[in-house]
Amino acid sequence: MKYIFVTGGVVSSLGKGLTAAALGTLLENRGLKVTLQKFDPYLNVDPGTMSPFQHGEVYVLDDGAETDLDLGHYERFTGTKLTRMNNLTSGQVYAKVLERERRGDYLGKTVQVIPHVTDEIQNRIQAIAEQSKSDVLITEIGGTTGDIEGLPFLEAIREFALEVGYTNALFIHVTFVPFIKAAGELKTKPTQQSVAKLREIGITPHILVCRSDRAMGKELRQKISLFCNVPYEGVIEEKDVEHSIYEVPLMLQRERLDELVCRLLRLETPPANMSHWQDILRKLIAPQHRVRIGVVGKYIELQDAYKSVYEAIIHGGVANDCGVAIEKIEAEEIEKFCAEKLLKGLGGILVPGGFGERGVEGKVRAARFARENGVPYLGLCLGMQVATIEFARDVLHLEKAHSTEFEPTTPDPVIALLDEQRQVTRLGGTMRLGAQPVQLKVGSRAAKLYGAFVVNERHRHRYEFNNDYRKAFEAAGFHFSGTSPDGKLVEVIELADHPFFVACQFHPEFQSKPNAPHPLFRGFIAATHAYSCQRGL
Ligand code: GLN
């Protein structure tokens, strides 16, 4: 087993996760079995209780783990299936150590960061190594070098590398080389200082992946190599991509990152065959068609809050040879202005998941606009719930219909708390989470898109369609095309007499990949394209 540790320097948001995932792609295409893991130094047990403003998207795995969005990159860029073991936070480490202390496991010793906390971190590396049976484990350490809370993780990987030996472990540091406008040049000092910080704690990176907005040139690379004590060939350039994040693996391959990694770790493999990846990219960069999709959400100004949704839309575009322009629409804006003003001219409307009341009425109006005007609509989780509320109010004339999440005393609770949630008092990790089977109705649009009658989809919700209303909805043309296998829980709805109005209680976006676009997104973009052609959009 070989271990690669990816750390980050200078600033956050450099795309460390993407770099780790792209390296995973390259190694996998060299025929190696790869798995990835993320360490997050914050004290939350998982990001499930954090606001998207704090953290971005919460990515959900098959086993119901609520994890960091970098795990989304790992699953999209590689074939690896991740579990809750693949995301470790300081909160989990301390919870474990304290539990063991209370049990008396430490036999009278003083419990300390070194060795008890660091041992616990190393145990996790070992556990993944054993469980995944991979050739290579890539571990990304969240945060930035120099953060106090990241120190135990860095100490743990330093010790670990010493233990397994330097032909088995490799340190890659992702760093920033800023362009200073007034000087008209790229500057290496922040990188030098960040590497110095790492060396202070005993880690000498073998490879520096330098993020910059332009090419670095030979001299600059030589300078970084000299000042940072990294061989010249280990100074890798990772410029901002021009079109798409899916360019990153190809860019790193041109820089020979994978070749160097394999040489340093004594891994003998043929070069990575990236031809299928190049095909995907070709479709992304020069698509035959173009469509515009509106995403109506409440965290629209954040890049990361709907990460997997945006990616899945792009994958759906690839499947249809369509370039997709995503219009990000703030739901509250729809409440202030008329829906028509913001939504007219779009080829499709998507309402993603969400929690809390803010913006809900705007989303209801977006669903209404799509239904009334025959605009293709895809609703995800809350997006299904608002479509239900809208239909109840406008078609079934239940004017006060609502979800009890937003209006606990509504006379018509068409969306209500799941039975299993009634006793829940603690918020962390208690939603209906993870992969659950969904039974699709024969002849439904959903079944046709999937080409299957039973599928597994990932969930993250507390509320559901209230079955007291099923008959009335069905009679009015609101079809329940997917349910739990016992038929009790509504999973997919679709409208008759509409070109494409599909909404689901689960999150299909978590299982879409560029080389395997999700069927619902594929179908949605196909419908969007057809609608756009027909309307001359
Ligand atoms: N807030 C809704 C619920 O808990 C929807 C959740 C979601 O969109 N992920 O059921």
Dist CA 335 CA 314 (whole Å)? 28
Amino acid of residue 410: T
| Residues 6+ positions from 189 with CB-CB distance below 8 Å | none
pLDDT of residue 25: 98
Q: Is the CB of 405 under 6 A from ligand 1?
A: yes
* Burial of residue 148, with CB atoms counted within 10 A of its CB: 0-12 exposed, 13-18 middle, 19 or more buried: exposed
**Please, what are the averages of pLDDT over each run of 10 residues along the chain (537 residues)?**
95 92 98 97 92 88 96 96 95 96 94 96 94 94 94 97 95 97 94 96 96 94 96 96 93 97 97 95 94 94 90 97 95 89 94 94 97 97 98 97 96 92 86 95 96 97 96 96 96 95 98 96 98 92
Would you state the pLDDT for residue 114? 95
Among this protein's residues, is 210 annotated catalytic? Answer: no
Residue of 381, 390, 504, 529 with catalytic role: 381
CA of 461 relative to ligand 1 center, distance in Å: 4
SS3 per-residue string spanning 312-342: HHHHHHHHCCEEEEEEEEEHHHHHHCCHHHH
| Count of Cβ atoms closer than 10 Å to residue 435 Cβ | 18
**Alpha-carbon distance values, 407 to 21, 386, 391, 403 (Å):** 42, 13, 17, 6
Ligand 1 atom closest to the Cα of residue 463 is 10
Atom of ligand 1 nearest to the CA of 352: 8
Atom of ligand 1 nearest to the CA of 415: 10
Q: Which ligand 1 atom is the nearest neighbour of the CA of 354?
A: 8
* CA 462 – ligand 1 centroid, Å: 6
CB of 353 sitting under 6 A from ligand 1: yes
Q: Label residue 277 left, alpha or beta by phi (over 0 means left) and psi (-120 to 50 means alpha).
A: alpha
Our answer on whether the CB atom of 354 is closer than 6 Å to any ligand 1 atom is yes
Contact 355 CB / ligand 1 (< 6 Å):
yes
Can you tell me which atom of ligand 1 is nearest the CA of 380? 8
What is the structure's pLDDT at 53?
81
Q: What is the pLDDT of residue 304?
A: 87
Question: DSSP letter at 85?
Answer: G
CA distance linking residue 225 with residue 219, whole number of Å? 10
Cis before 514? omega within 30: no
Contact 22 CB / ligand 1 (< 6 Å): no
| Contacting residues for 112 by C-beta, under 8 A, at least 6 apart | none
Instruction: Kindly give the distance from the C-alpha atom of residue 448 to the centroid of ligand 1, in angstroms, as a whole number.
Output: 26
Q: Is 332 a catalytic residue?
A: no
Do 246 and 259 touch, CB atoms closer than 8 A? no
Q: Which one from 55, 73, 173, 507 is the annotated catalytic residue?
A: 507
Cα(506) to centroid(ligand 1), Å: 9
Whole-number pLDDT of residue 12: 85
Nearest one of 358, 363, 365, 364 to 339, comparing CA atoms = 365
Whole-number pLDDT of residue 97 = 97
| Among protein residues, the one whose CA lies closest to atom 3 of ligand 1 | 461
Distances 155 to 137, 151, 165, 303, 485 between C-alpha atoms, Å:
18, 6, 15, 32, 48
Residue 88: CA atoms inside 13 Å, Cβ hemisphere, count?
28
Helix (H, G, I), strand (E, B) or coil at 244: coil
**pLDDT computed for residue 299 by the predictor:** 87
Residue 460 near ligand 1, beta carbon < 6 Å: yes
CB of 124 within 6 A of ligand 1: the answer is no
Give the pair of three-digit tokens for residue 17.
């996760």
For 221, the token pair is: 């690379």
Q: In this structure, which residue's CA is closest to atom 5 in ligand 1? A: 382
User: Pairing mode, if any, of strands 463-465 and 413-417?
Assistant: antiparallel
- 509 part of the active site: yes
Distance CA 207, CA 44 (A): 31
The answer to whether 446 and 482 have CB atoms below 8 angstroms apart is yes
Give the closest residue (by CA) to ligand 1 atom 7: 353
> CA 55 to CA 40: how far, in whole Å?
11
Taking phi over 0 as left and psi of -120 to 50 as alpha, with beta for the rest, 214 belongs to beta
